[in-house]
Chain A
C-alpha cells in the first residue's frame, strides 16, 4: 500500500475565538479523487487553505508527502500542491494566456524545453488553443477558469485542490473538467474538490468527506454515501436525482443513468418472464 500523499491528524483550526474545524483526521492516497462537501460556512474553504499551507492548524498536524506543513513555506508547498481558487482573477496578472500559464512552471526552474512542453500539454488539455495571445481578462469567466486550471496543471502538482471549479461551466466544459480529473487520477495524482454539485461529485469522485459542525461527519466511498439516506442529510447536501430514483424504486444505488438502467433491466426481464407464464 502506498504512503498517503495527504495525511491529517486531529487537525483543529479556529478563527480567533471561533472554532471552525475540530479533530479532523483523514488520509488521501495518490490516485484518489475526494469530494469535500458540507453546507456554506462548514469550513470547506478553510480546509483547503490548511491543505495548501495558507493556514497552519492550531491543533494536530497536516502532512503532505510525509512532511509537516507547519515547517514549510507556502511557496515551497506549491511545488506539490496546486490550487485552483474560486476567483481566478485574483491570480491573473499577465497580459496573455500563454504567459499566465507559464508563470507557475517558471517558478519551478525547469529547462526551456520542459517548460514549453508543459505549457503545450496544459493548453491542449484545457482546450485553450488559439487563445494564447489573448488577454485573460478579455475572456469570459468560464474560459478564465480554464486558464487558471491550465496554469496549475502546467506545474504538475501531485495534489490538486479545486475550489468549486465546476461552478458556472456549460455542459461541454464540465465534461472536459471531468476528463481532466480522470486523467489526473490515472496519472497517480490526488485530487480534493470542494463541490456543491452532487451530480458532479457522483460523476468524478471516489470518496466523500463531509463536514458538519466543524467535525468530519462523513468519510465514505461515493457509493456508500449516496446509498445511505441519512448521510447526505447529515451534511446538508442532496443526493443526486438518480440515486433518489434508484432508492425509490427499491434498487441498489445507481450514480449514473446507465447504471440505473442496468439495474432495472434484469428486474424488468424478470417480470416479463413471470408474466409470460
Chain B
C-alpha cells in the first residue's frame, strides 16, 4: 500500500504531535498522557494502516528520544491506530456521542493489549500512578492480572476518550481546503 507524500508528511507531523502533546498535558498538570492524539487524527484522515504506522513509529521515536523501554508498548499504539481507522470507516467519528463511544472501545481493547506487556515484561507494574491502584487491589485480595487490568482500565478509558474527543475537535475545525484533500476523511464527514 503506497501512501502519498501528503499523507507521509501528515504522519510525520502527527508523530511529533503525539510526543509534544504529552508535554502540554504536563503543563496543565493533567493526570492523563493523551499521547495518541496524532495517531487517532491520522486514522480519521487517512485510514487504519496509516494510523497504526503512526502509532508504532511514535513509540520508536520515543525510544530514541526518551525511554527505550516505553517502546515496548508499540503493539498498543498499533491497535489504537487500527481501531480508530476501522471505527472511522464505519462512521463512528461523525458525531460527538459516537466519538466518545469510539474512545471507550479503543480504551478497553488497548488495555487488553497492554496487560500482557505490563504483566509479563514489567511484572505487573508501570512505574506510574496506576501502580497505587494496582497495589491497593492486590492488597484487598484480587489476583495480580485482574488488579492490573482494573487499575489501568480506568485511566486508559479516560485517556482514550479524551484523546478521541480532541482528535474529533481538531478535525472538525480544520479548514476545508485541508481536509478535503484526504479521501478517507469522507467517512467522518457529517
Interface flag for A63 (CB, 8 Å): no
Interface-side segment among B22-30, B68-76, B118-126, B172-180: B172-180
Which A residues from 43 to 96 make CB contacts under 8 A with B? 94-95
Chain A: interface residue total (CB-CB under 8 A): 5
Closest to B178 in A: A137
Chain B: interface residue total (CB-CB under 8 A): 5
Interface flag for A223 (CB, 8 Å): no
Chain B residues lying within 8 Å of A276, measured Cβ to Cβ, are none
Interface SS majority for chain B: helix
B173 touching A95 by the CB < 8 A rule?
yes
A94 contact from B173, B175, B176, Cβ within 8 A: B173
Chain A residues lying within 8 Å of B173, measured Cβ to Cβ, are 94-95, 135
Closest to A137 in B: B175
B177 touching A138 by the CB < 8 A rule?
yes
Chain B residues lying within 8 Å of A95, measured Cβ to Cβ, are 172-173
Chain B residues lying within 8 Å of A135, measured Cβ to Cβ, are 173, 175-176
Which B residues from 168 to 190 make CB contacts under 8 A with A? 172-173, 175-177
A147 to chain B, nearest CB (A): 14
A140 to chain B, nearest CB (A): 13
Chain A residues lying within 8 Å of B172, measured Cβ to Cβ, are 95
Closest to A136 in B: B175
Contact with B along A226-247 (1 / 0, CB 8 A): 0000000000000000000000
Chain A residues lying within 8 Å of B177, measured Cβ to Cβ, are 138
Binding site for B on A (CB under 8 A): 94-95, 135, 137-138
5 nearest A-B pairs in the assembled complex, by CB-CB distance: A95-B173, A135-B175, A138-B175, A137-B175, A138-B177
Given A135-B175, A135-B176, A138-B175, 7 further pairs, Cβ under 8 A:
A94-B173, A95-B172, A95-B173, A135-B173, A137-B175, A138-B176, A138-B177
10 contacts between A and B (CB under 8 A): A94-B173, A95-B172, A95-B173, A135-B173, A135-B175, A135-B176, A137-B175, A138-B175, A138-B176, A138-B177
